[in-house]
Amino acid sequence: MGFPTKVQLIKRQASEQWYINFPSAVAQALEFQKGESVEWIIEDKSLLALRRHAPPAPALKKTLPSSTTSSISGRPASHPSKTVSPTAPKPSR
């Protein structure tokens, strides 16, 4: 989803200043703070990227599933009562 915005230019006697404003929804979604430092990266003439020096911590941390919990339900996974080695001979019936 894009947020169209216009480039603004203010010409003064001795200088020019160019501005590109963030829509409020973008700034709020990215949790920008007043006075935060950012860096513009020119990828090419059609792509200008903004890099944050200190982004906020994620609200939801991604974790790898533990060997003791199921990744689907979060309940303890059922473990077999005895472990069978893949090289051990199978018991005869």
- Report CA 68 to chain centroid distance, whole Å: 27
Specify the pLDDT at position 59.
Answer: 80
Q: Is residue 43 part of a domain?
A: yes
Q: Is residue 38 part of a domain?
A: yes
Q: Is residue 58 part of a domain?
A: no
Task: State how many domains the chain has.
Answer: 1
Cα–Cα dist 52/57, whole Å? 12
Those residues whose C-beta lies under 8 Å from the C-beta of residue 42, and which sit 6 or more positions away, are 48, 49
Per-residue DSSP letter, 76: B
Specify the pLDDT at position 34.
Answer: 92
Specify the pLDDT at position 57.
Answer: 84
| pTM of this prediction exceeds 0.75 | no
Q: Is residue 48 part of a domain?
A: yes
Residue ranges making up the domain that contains 18 = 7-52
- Give pLDDT tens digits along the chain (93 positions): 688 899 999 999 999 999 999 899 999 999 999 999 999 999 999 999 999 988 888 888 777 776 555 545 555 555 444 545 555 555 565
Q: Is residue 35 part of a domain?
A: yes
Q: Is residue 86 part of a domain?
A: no
Q: Is residue 20 part of a domain?
A: yes
